[in-house]
């Protein structure tokens, strides 16, 4: 539209939620409806007589974008809602493209000849799997990277010193991506501004002389910290360990202990608690 303009377009049909919000991919890309309305306004600006149809399941123009939706309705953009189990049908013939959609208000099929057909395909994170497997990052069911806590740590990943922003986290507008990028940069600056970083004393340690290299700690750690070193035994980097204690509980040989929570320390606390009672 930017290169050729829209003055020669007379019948334009835009179909939303193509390949998304279904059993295979349930995610809503959020930006599709707003992009369709933006393009519809652009077409109407250059050719007010053009017939522009937006076929949708749910129009999602949140926030200030609601004003663009109202403006599109005022300029004559036609919005037709369809159900998920009755999507529009597209047929090609010698005369062009014909789109058939059931209008549930009129309770009848409507046929629309389309000089231009635009499909709003959902955004998918196609390249996150490899990165997630390399540095052990959590992803949600749609394949996007997950933050450590949606309220308390919205840009922090589970791994210390790793931050997420933009569409690697979820589909979002440019303004939202910029805001999240600024938040991620601010969090990164808190690390870079310090000459020294104090680590937690609560970390796991392995008795390597007794380690059988069973790999249970490697598989159970949600942060991917335990590794098998060159000597063939498990090794835990205290700078990366989060002190969750999962590997300590899972180790069948009980040779992994958590600093400040070692067996003799815990039992001494129990003995002190029960002293004079038993």
pLDDT, tens digit, 9 for 90 and up, residues 166-190: 999 999 989 999 999 999 999 999 9
Greatest CA separation for the chain: 95
Enumerate residues 6+ apart whose C-beta is below 8 A from 271. Answer: none
pTM of the model: 0.73
Could you tell me if 137 and 102 lie in one domain? no
Shared-domain flag, residues 172 and 132: yes
Q: Does any domain span residue 275?
A: no
Q: How confident is the model at residue 275 (pLDDT cuts 50, 70, 90)?
A: confident
Number of domains in the chain: 3
Rg for the chain, CA atoms, rounded:
28
Separation CA 8–CA 4 (nearest Å): 9
Whether residue 21 is found in the same domain as residue 66: yes
Q: Are residues 19 and 93 in the same domain?
A: yes
Co-location of 57 and 83 in the same domain: yes
**SS3 call for 275:** coil
How many Cβ atoms sit within 10 Å of the Cβ of residue 74? 9
Q: Kindly state whether residue 247 falls inside one of the protein's structural domains.
A: yes
Which range, of 1-15, 71-85, 190-204, averages the lowest pLDDT?
1-15
Q: Residues 102-144: pLDDT tens digits?
A: 988 888 999 999 989 999 988 888 888 898 888 888 898 888 9
């Amino acid at each position: 539209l930017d290169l050729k303009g829209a003055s020669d377009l007379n019948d334009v049909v835009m179909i939303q939620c193509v390949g998304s919000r279904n059993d295979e991919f349930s995610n809503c890309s959020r930006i599709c409806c707003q992009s369709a309305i933006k393009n519809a306004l652009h077409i109407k600006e250059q050719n007010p007589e053009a017939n522009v149809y937006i076929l949708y399941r749910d129009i999602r123009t949140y926030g200030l974008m609601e004003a663009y939706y109202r403006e599109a309705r005022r300029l004559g953009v036609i919005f037709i809602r369809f159900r998920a189990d009755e999507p529009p049908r597209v047929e090609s013939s010698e005369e062009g493209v014909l789109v058939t959609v059931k209008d549930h208000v009129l309770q009848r099929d409507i046929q629309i000849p389309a000089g231009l057909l635009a499909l709003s395909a959902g955004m998918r994170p196609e390249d996150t799997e490899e990165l997630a497997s390399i540095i052990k990052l959590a992803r949600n069911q749609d394949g996007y990277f997950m933050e450590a806590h949606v309220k308390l740590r919205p840009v922090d990943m589970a791994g210390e010193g790793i931050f997420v922003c933009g569409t690697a986290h979820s589909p979002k507008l440019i303004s939202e991506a910029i805001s999240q990028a600024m938040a991620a940069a601010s969090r990164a600056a808190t690390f870079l501004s310090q000459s020294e970083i104090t680590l937690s004393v609560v970390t796991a340690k392995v008795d390597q002389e007794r380690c059988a290299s069973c790999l249970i700690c490697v598989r159970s750690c949600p942060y991917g910290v335990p590794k098998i070193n060159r000597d063939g035994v498990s090794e835990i980097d205290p700078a990366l360990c989060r002190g969750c204690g999962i590997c300590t509980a899972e180790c069948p040989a009980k040779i992994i202990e958590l600093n400040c929570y070692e067996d003799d320390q815990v039992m001494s606390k129990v003995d002190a608690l029960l002293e004079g009672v038993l």
